[in-house]
Amino acid sequence: METAVSAGGVVYRNGEDGIEVVICGRLGDGVWGLPKGTPHDGESLEETAVREVSEETGLEVLIGEKIGVVEYWFARTRVRYHKWVHHYLFQATGGDTDSHDLEYDRVEWRPIENALKTLTFKNESDMVEKAREMIETVRE
């Protein structure tokens, strides 16, 4: 068994029809997810989250509060992993989703309800739901 840690999060903006979030898709396996990745040596979780979100989305982002942590198990090449993914709330401050790296084939802004229906994994949908609650609390 091995352990793994990643950091990323939910990038949002206020669109014409309400809150929009960025989701990332791969054509090969059909997975739609949130941007995240593994820390470099000496990098904090927050630094990792900013770097990974920026690379995978093509956006310049401002990190906000921590949304939460997702914990799960998976196996790869006969090794069982216990993984934790730390999610933060981000505001987009610039950039362009067309400038994303090659990890995903598509990076799109979606109305939050559409994103919730499109995300592949429930634990990531749960993070978007928590992010929505945080955003709505700030807007009140």
How many domains is the chain partitioned into structurally?
Answer: 1
Query: Which CATH number do you get for residue 94?
Result: 3.90.79.10
CA angle 29, 32, 27 (to 5 degrees): 35
- To the question of pTM greater than 0.75 for the whole model, the response is yes
Higher pLDDT: 139 or 61? It is: 61
- Round to whole Å and give the CA distance between 112 and 128: 8
pLDDT for residue 57 is more than 80 = yes
- DSSP label of 102: T
The residue segments making up the domain with residue 31 are 2-139
Residues 37 and 51: beta-carbon distance below 8 Å: yes
pLDDT tens-digit readout, 25-56:
999 999 999 999 999 999 999 999 999 999 99
For residue 13, the model assigns a pLDDT of 96
pLDDT beyond 60 at 140: no
